Structures are given as structure tokens and as C-alpha cells.
């Protein structure tokens, strides 16, 4: 009897000792189930609502489909009046890229249409050819002064003739107007441009833009003016700082919402590098590469794996020279209209003497405006994270964030010790994208103030550059730069690389483009190498005879700094030699009088170039014209020259070289009249696709609930359990006495 | 044993505390904002339009005063970030001005904008701008939308009438945060 009692007692004691654990597990279990149960209930309730009650309001992007389609979670569709498709054929020959693009505009309505399409091109492209193809007929566009071209187009449009007008609004943004597209028919516009390939640190990169990130337009809206502003082409109204905002703000439609038959591109590229090429790849698209041997030279043909792609991101193609085969210097020449033009590329040696690195003061500026929303802000945060982790303890740093307002993490730069860096890392991780892009105040915060003594200030600016007031910002950089250097990092599927390249040029730094989260590390490594290596400056190109009267005219200006891994590119027009037949310009000499901190009156580095060894190439004269226009426009943007004088000079060059410029446009008119007088002409602004991964004018709904109810509910559950336990504790107290004996 | 009991009690108190803190903050902030708003109006009458921050470290400021039907007035802040919405409803960036175009305001369903559910078609909503002028709107549409398939078209610039859109989370009595549904009240200027 006693034994039985004892064994019972043991069991009870075991229960007693485990009870705490069991109750604890029970309490946690209750908490978790309570939460997930309530969450589930709400979710199912919300879903059933979406099936029956969901409706789109007038301002919401309205579906033209039935409600049942919405219930299937189909994205809402946008049905454009003009269906757009594009064929792009790119040929890379040596250093020159020539691209031929065919834009097809199909009128999908029963009315006559005028289509207006704002489209991007690479920021250094020289656009020299436009053809309008109607059926089998081809009408070649002519270059005219901008206003004259517009008048020709307007008259043709009024008369009912098919016509096309291509205008430049920014070096990387153009519009194409196509008048009198008959109902159901297609008009094709063929454009051709060339540019010099981007070559840095042994890698080549070709970027073909297919859409733009909507820009931000600072300033006061211009309204109530007497001049009628046609805002049918853009969502933005002109402002005092960006008077052409309505022309460069096409509506952007998310790719998923666009009708499947529109905004598709077919793309092919051919690479004839002139040396063995490896690692041809595209970070933006799936591609197929075929190699062919022609005259002992390999030619590579690249096409899209899927055949066609949505026009919602830039096409990026990269390749490298085989180890040891990367070009160190190249010279191409062309004779055009009896004049001689040359293109020179020199890659300075990658190891330079005079490596005396100063400690650096790095100021990181991150754009957290609305256009950076989505994928872009994640890329930017990752990039900044990497950059902060790469600082040396001897460096100083600061982080500046800007959208509508600017906020500096520290009032002035601080030592890069682990405490400060951790603080900055936490700050960066908390950044979100919202608001405007008031870039001027951020630039001012980064560039103003004195450089910390004994330090080299490098401003690293991370942005998508989606601003409309580019030239005002260039001017500001020029004025405020002082001893600082500005490095820009372009982020997103379709950043404004014109702005960022030029800003870096004005800021005597360099531009790095990151299009994908996976690229952040590799691209930044290249940038950090540049940031820490000595630079070449005080560069000059001469024939070595008479420094006042060089027998050539070359662009771009060599005033900036040359960073490690960057080549010198010069496009040269040789002046005709009068009388004397001696070959004065047989040899050119490229020199640098400064390396890092060493300055000298005699060249510290030089390279001689023998012109006789140049290879023949096409398109150099065109590219020279384009570079001359750019350098004239730069001077005008900075306000250092007379506007009317520059206009005349640009006109002369552009008309001679058949180039689209700020003052010239291409216009083509068909002779026959297509549209009957009584038919009305409808205007249709062709939208662009929203860059992949970004969020913009089509704003997302904000998050509008707090966790207060959840907290209160969980708190109450905790209370209930603890009260329950207290009660149980009391009622089981008698068991304890049994254990005690 | 007593430890577990105490732990749960403390946990419960913390949770209850943080839950009610959100509510208290939402109410208390509006008092502070009221003062900042009066300063803003006063500043405007003096033609000095610098934003008046309600407290020195605030990253937002009042931009309008909103009156829903017969319920209380509240101060609307700049932006719709979580920081701003904790203190009051926010006005979305990129939308238009009060007098013309589209104005979008968002608020938390369980604090400031809980009163949206009481609105019916035809109710009057008024907004006071920084210059002190009131604009009256009338509710023209109330809908529930799924944010997975809908976005706000902020680019509508050629509206026949100025519009106001008030957005909050739906359902009102849900406990979970981050659901996809929104309750959208659209009102047209009278």
C-alpha cells in the first residue's frame, strides 16, 4: 500500500517538474495560433471582397475588360491607339558603333492618326539619317533648321500628306512625329546613328536605351500664360526651370498593363572588333551568340533568345578583349568631302609611377526620390553598403540623402572608424524612396564647404538622374566643384545617362552604370580602383610643332582628369595643308603633365602616334560633327559664350554633317495627299513602358494600417494566459505537499 | 512557475502599452500639429512660406487641414511615409494642388482615417490650404480596390473637375497589417 502510494507520488512529482515547460510551450502555441488564425480569417475575408466588390474608380487605371477578368487577377490592360514595334540592328566595327532602328507605327483605330513618340537614344549618338517607309516607297528625310523643319511638317500635316519629323530635346531624348497614318495602316520610320563604343578597364559595353525613367521637373509651374501649351504629349506642365517639361514627359505604362501586341523590340548586333573577343554577355536580356570567321577575323552575331522583348529596359551588351589582346592604342581615318578625319584611342599604361595616395574624404550622396522606388533603391542601398565597407580607417566620410529635401547624416565628414560606419550602415538600410528630386541642394551640400585639409574629397553620387533641369545642374557643378571630384553611379533599368556622364565630366570624375543588383559588386570594384589610383591630368594632344596653331581641330576637350583604365578618345579633323606638301601632321603626340600629385612643366607621360598607320573606317566625320556640337553646347550651358553665336556655329556643323541637334531636325514629306480634307486627324501620344522594376507616376497605394490592434490583441492574450496560470497554480498547490514527503 | 506568469504579464503589458502608444501618439500629435498649422497660416499671411515643423526633429510638416463630414478636423502632413502617417494623414507627393488636379491623401484605418467608413455618397469634405482658403468637395464614389491590380494614375492632368482621393486600408476591423485591399473615397470639388 505504501509502495503504491510512493510510485504514484513519483509520477506526480515528474508532472510537477515538467509542468512549467509544458505550460510555457502551451502559452507560445496559443499565441502563435491566435495570431495566424486571426490573420487567416482576415485574408480570406479580403479575398472574397475582391471577387464581389472590387471596382475601379474614375482615377484608377481603368480596365476595359469585364469584372470577371479582374477576378482572375489579370493585370489591367492599356490599349494604345498606335501599336509600336521596333527592329534594331547594331554593327560594332572597331571602336565605332552604327545602329539602324526601324520604328513601326500601326494605326489601330478607324481614324486618321498623328503619332507622337518620345524615344531615347544613347547620349553620345550622332543621328544622321531618317527615312519614312510607306509600303515599298521610301522617302528620305532632310536636315533643316528646327523651326523651318517644324513648319514644313505642319504644312504637310494640314495638307493631308504623310510626314515625319525627328527632333532632339536632350542629347539622349528625341521625339518623332508621324502625321496622317491611315486607319489600320503602318508607317515605318528608319533611323541611323553612330557612336564610339564605351571601353573601360579592358571591357567594352554597348547600351541601347529602350525607355526612360520619368523625370522630375523642379520649379514653379508656368500657367496662366498667353501662349497656349500643348500638353497632350506629356504628363508634366512646363516649369520656370524646365520650360519643355511637357515635351519630355511621355506617359509610362507598366509592361504588364500594355497590350501584348505593342512595345516589342527585335534586336541584333554584330561585333567585328578587329581582335579576339571573349565573354560576350548581356545582363539585361537572354541572348544567343554565333561566331563566324571572315578573312581570318572572327565576327560575332548576337540576337535575342526570345526573338523579341518588351521595351521596358535598356539593352546592355558587354564583351572583353582576349587576355593580352586588349587594344592599347588605335587610329582610324576617313576622307569625307575632301577632308580628312581621324579617330584616336590611347589606353595609358595601367601602372603609373607616382603612386602617392592621399587619404580621402568620401561624401556619398544617395537619391531617395520617388523614381528610385522599387528595384532601384535596393541597388542603391547595396551599392552604398559596399562603398561604406570599403573605406579605410584613415579616410573620412559622410552620407547625404535627398528627395524633396536634403538630409546629411553628419554635419561634416567624420573619421571612418567602425562605430561611425556601423551607424551609417544602419542609416542607409532604413532609407526609402519617396518624393521629388531636388538635386541642386544635395549637390550644394556635397560640394560646398572647405575640403578637409590634407584630404582628397571624392563625392560619390548614386542616382537614376531622372531630372529635367540638366543644364542648370551642370552649371552648378562647374561653379561649386572647387577641389572636389564628382563620381556618378547610375542605377535602374533606364537611367538618364546623359545627365550622369556629363555631370561626372563637369565634376572631373567618372560615371559607372549599374543595371542589376548582381552587378553591384563587380562594377563598384572597378570604381574603387579608380578612386584610389593616381590620375593623369594636364593632358594635351599636339603635332609637336607650333602649339598656337595646331594643324588639326580635335574633340572632346582634354581638360578633365583621366582615371585608371579609361582611354583617351579624340576625334580629329585635319586642316588642309595649303601650298606646302610636307607632311606636317605625320606624327601626333599625346602628353600628360601631371600624374597623381606630381606636376611638371615637361610631360611625365607621353605617347607618339604615327598617322600613316591609320586604318580606314566609316562614320568618323559624322562623329566629329557630333562632338563639336556637344562641346559648343557645353560652353553655352555654362554661359561662357554668346548664345546666338553658338546657335549659328551649331547650325553650320549640323547642316554640313546632316546631324540632328538642338537647332536642327530631320523632316520627310510624301508628295501625294493621303487624307481626305473632310476626315479628322486624331493626335496620339505613344507612351513608353515603365522601366522594369521601378514604380512611378502610376503610384502604388500607401501602407495605411498600424499594428496597434495586433499589439492590443496579443497583449490581452498574454494577460488571459497569465491569469489562467495563476488560477491553475493555486488549484494545484496541494500536489506540492505530496511531493515534499 | 511564477517566472512564466510574470513574463507573460510583462509581455502583455508591453504589447498593450505599445498598442495604445500608437493610438495616443496619433491623438497627441494632432494637438502639436494644430499649433504648427496655425503658424503656417500666419507665416503665409506674411508671405514667408517656409514649412513649419511641429517639433524640431520632425521630418514632415503640415500641408493642409481636412474636415470630413461632421467629424473632427485634422491636420494633413507632407508625404505618406510611415513616419508621417503615425502623426496624421499624409498628402502624397507628385499629385496636384488643392485647387486643381488630383489630391491624394492617405491615413491609417485604425487612427485618423477610421472615420472614412462613416462617409456616404454626397457627404461634404473640406480642405484648407496653406493660404487659409477652404475648398469644398462632395463624395462622388466609394470603392474597395485591390492594390495588386490597381495603381493611382497621378498623371491625370486634364480632369474636368478637381478631385480629392482619400485612401485607407481595408477592411477597417482587420488586425493584420499589410493587406492588399484599400478603401478609396473619391470626391469632386463643388
Percentage, residues of chain B above pLDDT 90: 1
Q: What band does B55 get if pLDDT is binned at 50, 70 and 90?
A: confident
Report the distance separating Cα A496 and Cα A465, nearest Å: 5
Q: What is the pLDDT of residue A30?
A: 55
Average pLDDT estimate for A98-105: 95
Q: What is the pLDDT of residue A232?
A: 55
C-alpha cell at A385: 553598403
Report the distance separating Cα A332 and Cα A96, nearest Å: 10
**Contact B9/A719, CB-based, under 8 Å?**
yes
Average pLDDT estimate for A520-533: 82
Long-range interactions of B31-34: CB distance < 8 A, separation 24+: B33/B62, B33/B75, B33/B77, B33/B87, B33/B88, B34/B75
What count of CB pairs under 8 Å joins A to B?
229
Q: What is the pLDDT of residue A5?
A: 53
- pLDDT at residue A497 above 50? yes
Q: What is the pLDDT of residue A22?
A: 62
Measured between beta carbons, the chain A residues lying within 8 angstroms of B17 are 715
More confident residue, A87 or A275: A87
Q: From A76, which residue of chain B is nearest by alpha-carbon distance?
A: B149
Q: What is the pLDDT of residue A68?
A: 31
By the CB < 8 Å criterion, does A276 face chain B? no
Q: Tell me which residue in B82, B113, B163 faces A59 most closely, judged by beta carbons.
A: B163
Question: What pLDDT digit, counting tens, does each position of A410-442 carry?
Answer: 888 899 999 999 999 999 988 887 777 888 888
Average pLDDT estimate for B128-140: 86
Examine domains A82-325+660-689 and A360-532 and report if their fold is the same: no
Q: What is the pLDDT of residue A168?
A: 94
Average pLDDT estimate for A114-131: 92
**Contact A704/B20, CB-based, under 8 Å?**
no
Q: What is the pLDDT of residue A459?
A: 92
Percentage, residues of chain A above pLDDT 70: 80
- pLDDT at residue A579 above 50? no
**Contact A73/B148, CB-based, under 8 Å?**
yes
Q: What band does A204 get if pLDDT is binned at 50, 70 and 90?
A: very high
Average pLDDT estimate for A93-122: 91
Q: What is the pLDDT of residue A163?
A: 95
Question: What pLDDT digit, counting tens, does each position of A19-36 carry?
Answer: 666 666 666 665 555 554
When scoring A224, A701, A718, A728 by the number of chain B Cβ atoms within 10 A, the one with the most, hence best to mutate, is A701
Measured in degrees and rounded to the nearest 5, phi and psi for residue B63 equal -125, -15
By the CB < 8 Å criterion, does A436 face chain B? yes
Report the distance separating Cα B90 and Cα B61, nearest Å: 10
Q: What is the pLDDT of residue A250?
A: 77
Q: From B88, which residue of chain A is nearest by alpha-carbon distance?
A: A704
Of A356-360, A637-641, B94-98, where does mean pLDDT reach its minimum? B94-98
**Contact B19/A707, CB-based, under 8 Å?**
yes
Chain A 31-70, CB below 8 Å of chain B: which residues?
38-39, 42-43, 45-46, 49-50, 53-61, 70
- pLDDT at residue B96 above 70? no
**Contact A19/B92, CB-based, under 8 Å?**
no
Percentage, residues of chain A above pLDDT 90: 29
Q: What is the pLDDT of residue A85?
A: 93
Q: What is the pLDDT of residue A222?
A: 64
By the CB < 8 Å criterion, does A220 face chain B? no
Average pLDDT estimate for A340-358: 76
User: From the CB of residue B10, how many other CB atoms can be counted at a distance below 10 Å?
Assistant: 12
B2-47+60-189 CATH fold: Sortase; Chain: A; (2.40.260)
Which pairing describes strands A315-321 and A203-208: parallel, antiparallel, or unpaired? antiparallel
Question: What pLDDT digit, counting tens, does each position of B151-164 carry?
Answer: 666 654 445 567 88
| Overall size of chain B counted in residues | 190
Sketch the domain layout of chain B as residue ranges.
2-47+60-189
Measured between beta carbons, the chain A residues lying within 8 angstroms of B9 are 718-719, 722
- pLDDT at residue A57 above 60? no
| C-alpha separations of A639 from A195, A461, A636 in Å | 27, 24, 5
More confident residue, A164 or A547: A164
Question: What pLDDT digit, counting tens, does each position of A209-246 carry?
Answer: 998 877 777 766 665 443 455 555 666 667 777 777 77
| Overall size of chain A counted in residues | 741
By the CB < 8 Å criterion, does A733 face chain B? no
Report the distance separating Cα A448 and Cα A313, nearest Å: 35
More confident residue, A300 or A59: A300
Q: What is the pLDDT of residue A18?
A: 63
Average pLDDT estimate for B8-18: 87
Q: Tell me which architecture the domain covering A82-325+660-689 has in CATH.
A: Sandwich (2.60)
C-alpha cell at A58: 474614375
Measured in degrees and rounded to the nearest 5, phi and psi for residue A3 equal -65, -45
- pLDDT at residue A45 above 50? no
Report the distance separating Cα A685 and Cα A41, nearest Å: 46
Measured between beta carbons, the chain B residues lying within 8 angstroms of A712 are 15-16, 19-20
Q: What is the pLDDT of residue B50?
A: 60
Q: Is the pTM of this model over 0.80?
A: no
Report the distance separating Cα A162 and Cα A675, nearest Å: 8
- pLDDT at residue A462 above 50? yes
Measured in degrees and rounded to the nearest 5, phi and psi for residue A273 equal -75, -30
Q: What band does A44 get if pLDDT is binned at 50, 70 and 90?
A: very low
Average pLDDT estimate for A696-720: 75
Question: What pLDDT digit, counting tens, does each position of A470-484 carry?
Answer: 888 998 998 888 888
Residue in the block written with cell 578587329: A274
User: From the CB of residue A83, how many other CB atoms can be counted at a distance below 10 Å?
Assistant: 19
Q: What is the pLDDT of residue A9?
A: 54
- pLDDT at residue A609 above 80? yes
Name the nearest CA neighbour of A621 among A577, A574, A576. Answer: A574
Name the nearest CA neighbour of A700 among B100, B60, B93. Answer: B93
Average model confidence (pLDDT) across chain A: 80
Average pLDDT estimate for B51-65: 75
Question: Could you give the angle at the alpha carbon of B164 between the alpha carbons of B159 and B165, nearest 5°?
Answer: 110
Measured between beta carbons, the chain A residues lying within 8 angstroms of B180 are 46, 50
Q: Which of A259-273, A319-333, A505-519 has the highest mean pLDDT?
A: A259-273
Name the nearest CA neighbour of A117 among A76, A165, A52, A156. Answer: A165
Sketch the domain layout of chain A as residue ranges.
2-61+721-740, 82-325+660-689, 360-532
> In Å, how far is B3's CA from the nearest CA of chain A?
9
Q: Tell me which architecture the domain covering A360-532 has in CATH.
A: 3-Layer(aba) Sandwich (3.40)
Burial status of residue B70 (CB atoms within 10 A of its CB: 0-12, 13-18, 19 or more): exposed
Q: What is the pLDDT of residue B49?
A: 53
On the CB side of B77, CA atoms within 13 Å amount to 29
Measured between beta carbons, the chain A residues lying within 8 angstroms of B182 are 701, 704
Reduced to 3 states (helix: H, G, I; strand: E, B; else coil), residue A731 is helix
Q: What is the pLDDT of residue A119?
A: 92
Average pLDDT estimate for A630-656: 88
Which pairing describes strands A511-514 and A485-491: parallel, antiparallel, or unpaired? parallel
Amino acid at each position: 500500500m505504501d509502495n503504491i502510494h510512493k510510485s504514484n507520488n513519483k509520477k506526480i512529482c515528474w508532472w510537477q517538474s515538467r509542468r512549467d515547460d509544458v505550460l510555457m510551450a502551451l502559452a507560445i502555441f496559443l499565441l502563435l495560433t491566435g495570431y495566424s488564425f486571426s490573420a487567416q480569417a482576415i485574408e480570406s475575408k479580403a479575398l472574397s471582397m475582391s471577387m464581389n466588390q472590387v471596382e475601379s474608380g474614375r482615377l484608377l487605371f481603368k480596365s476595359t475588360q469585364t469584372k470577371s477578368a479582374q477576378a482572375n487577377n489579370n493585370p489591367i490592360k492599356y490599349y494604345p491607339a498606335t501599336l509600336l514595334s521596333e527592329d534594331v540592328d547594331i554593327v560594332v566595327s572597331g571602336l565605332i558603333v552604327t545602329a539602324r532602328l526601324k520604328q513601326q507605327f500601326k494605326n489601330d483605330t478607324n481614324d486618321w492618326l498623328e503619332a507622337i513618340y518620345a524615344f531615347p537614344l544613347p547620349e553620345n549618338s550622332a543621328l544622321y539619317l531618317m527615312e519614312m517607309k510607306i509600303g515599298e516607297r521610301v522617302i528620305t528625310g532632310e536636315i533643316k533648321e528646327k523651326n523651318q523643319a517644324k513648319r514644313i511638317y505642319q504644312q504637310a500635316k494640314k495638307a493631308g500628306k504623310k510626314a515625319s519629323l525627328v527632333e532632339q530635346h536632350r542629347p539622349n531624348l528625341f521625339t518623332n512625329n508621324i502625321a496622317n497614318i491611315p486607319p489600320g495602316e503602318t508607317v515605318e520610320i528608319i533611323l541611323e546613328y553612330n557612336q564610339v563604343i564605351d571601353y573601360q578597364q579592358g571591357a567594352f559595353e554597348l547600351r541601347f536605351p529602350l525607355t526612360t525613367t520619368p523625370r522630375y521637373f523642379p520649379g514653379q509651374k508656368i500657367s496662366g500664360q498667353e501662349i497656349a501649351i500643348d500638353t497632350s504629349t506629356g504628363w508634366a506642365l512646363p516649369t520656370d526651370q524646365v520650360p519643355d517639361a511637357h515635351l519630355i514627359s511621355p506617359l509610362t505604362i507598366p509592361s504588364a498593363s500594355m497590350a501584348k501586341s505593342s512595345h516589342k523590340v527585335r534586336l541584333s548586333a554584330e561585333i567585328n572588333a578587329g581582335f579576339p573577343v571573349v565573354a560576350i554577355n548581356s545582363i539585361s536580356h537572354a541572348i544567343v551568340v554565333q561566331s563566324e570567321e571572315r578573312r581570318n577575323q572572327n565576327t560575332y552575331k548576337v540576337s535575342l533568345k526570345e526573338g523579341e522583348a518588351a521595351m521596358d529596359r535598356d539593352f546592355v551588351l558587354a564583351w572583353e578583349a582576349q587576355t593580352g589582346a586588349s587594344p592599347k592604342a588605335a587610329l582610324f581615318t576617313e576622307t569625307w568631302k575632301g577632308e580628312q578625319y581621324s579617330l584616336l584611342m590611347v589606353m595609358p599604361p595601367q601602372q603609373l609611377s607616382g603612386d602617392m595616395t592621399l587619404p580621402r574624404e568620401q561624401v556619398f550622396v544617395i537619391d531617395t526620390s520617388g523614381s528610385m522606388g522599387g528595384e532601384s533603391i535596393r541597388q542603391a542601398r547595396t551599392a552604398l553598403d559596399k562603398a561604406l565597407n570599403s573605406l579605410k580607417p584613415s579616410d573620412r566620410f559622410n552620407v547625404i540623402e535627398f528627395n524633396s529635401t536634403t538630409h546629411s547624416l553628419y554635419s561634416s565628414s567624420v573619421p571612418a572608424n567602425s562605430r561611425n560606419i556601423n551607424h551609417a550602415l544602419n542609416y542607409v538600410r532604413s532609407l526609402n524612396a519617396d518624393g521629388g528630386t531636388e538635386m541642386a541642394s544635395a549637390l550644394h551640400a556635397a560640394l560646398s564647404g572647405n575640403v578637409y585639409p590634407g584630404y582628397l574629397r571624392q563625392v560619390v553620387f548614386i542616382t537614376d538622374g531622372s531630372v529635367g533641369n540638366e543644364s542648370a545642374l551642370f552649371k552648378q557643378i562647374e561653379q561649386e566643384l572647387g577641389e572636389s571630384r564628382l563620381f556618378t553611379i547610375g542605377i535602374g533599368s533606364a537611367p538618364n545617362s546623359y545627365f550622369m556622364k556629363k555631370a561626372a565630366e563637369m565634376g572631373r570624375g567618372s560615371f559607372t552604370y549599374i543595371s542589376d543588383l548582381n552587378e553591384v559588386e563587380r562594377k563598384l570594384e572597378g570604381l574603387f580602383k579608380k578612386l584610389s589610383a593616381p590620375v593623369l591630368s594636364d593632358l594635351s594632344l599636339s603635332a609637336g610643332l607650333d602649339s598656337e596653331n595646331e594643324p588639326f581641330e580635335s574633340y572632346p576637350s582634354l581638360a578633365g582628369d583621366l582615371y585608371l583604365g579609361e582611354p583617351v578618345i579624340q576625334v580629329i579633323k585635319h586642316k588642309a595643308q595649303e601650298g606646302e606638301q610636307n607632311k606636317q601632321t605625320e606624327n601626333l603626340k599625346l602628353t600628360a603633365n601631371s600624374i597623381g600629385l606630381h606636376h611638371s612643366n615637361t610631360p611625365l607621360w607621353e605617347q607618339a602616334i604615327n598617322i600613316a598607320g591609320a586604318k580606314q573606317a566609316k562614320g568618323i566625320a559624322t562623329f566629329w560633327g557630333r562632338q563639336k556640337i556637344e562641346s559648343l553646347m557645353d560652353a553655352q550651358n555654362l554661359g561662357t559664350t554668346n548664345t546666338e553665336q553658338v546657335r549659328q556655329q551649331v547650325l553650320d556643323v549640323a547642316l554640313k554633317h546632316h546631324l540632328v541637334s538642338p537647332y536642327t531636325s530631320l523632316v520627310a514629306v510624301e508628295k501625294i495627299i493621303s487624307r481626305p480634307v473632310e476626315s479628322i486627324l486624331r493626335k496620339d501620344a505613344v507612351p513608353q513602358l515603365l522601366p522594369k522594376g521601378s514604380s512611378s507616376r502610376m503610384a502604388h497605394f500607401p501602407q495605411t494600417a498600424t499594428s496597434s490592434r495586433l499589439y492590443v490583441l496579443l497583449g490581452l492574450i498574454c494577460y488571459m494566459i497569465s491569469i489562467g496560470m495563476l488560477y491553475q497554480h493555486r488549484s494545484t498547490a496541494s500536489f506540492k505537499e505530496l511531493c515534499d514527503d | 512557475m511564477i517566472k512564466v506568469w510574470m513574463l507573460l504579464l510583462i509581455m502583455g503589458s508591453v504589447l498593450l502599452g505599445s498598442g495604445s502608444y500608437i493610438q495616443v501618439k496619433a491623438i497627441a500629435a494632432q494637438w502639436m500639429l494644430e499649433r504648427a498649422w496655425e503658424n503656417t497660416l500666419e507665416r503665409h499671411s506674411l508671405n514667408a512660406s517656409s514649412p513649419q515643423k511641429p517639433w524640431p526633429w520632425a521630418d514632415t510638416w503640415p500641408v493642409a487641414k481636412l474636415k470630413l463630414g461632421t467629424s473632427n478636423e485634422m491636420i494633413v502632413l507632407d508625404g505618406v511615409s510611415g513616419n508621417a502617417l503615425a502623426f496624421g494623414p499624409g498628402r502624397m507627393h507628385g499629385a496636384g494642388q488643392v485647387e486643381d488636379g488630383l489630391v491624394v491623401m492617405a491615413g491609417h484605418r485604425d487612427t485618423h482615417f477610421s472615420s472614412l467608413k462613416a462617409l456616404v455618397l454626397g457627404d461634404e469634405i473640406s480642405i484648407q490650404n496653406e493660404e487659409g482658403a477652404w475648398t469644398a468637395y462632395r463624395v462622388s464614389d466609394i470603392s474597395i480596390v485591390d492594390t495588386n491590380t490597381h495603381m493611382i494614375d497621378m498623371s491625370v492632368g486634364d480632369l474636368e473637375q478637381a478631385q480629392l482621393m482619400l485612401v485607407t486600408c481595408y477592411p477597417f476591423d482587420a488586425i493584420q497589417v499589410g493587406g492588399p485591399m484599400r478603401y478609396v473615397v473619391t470626391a469632386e470639388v463643388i
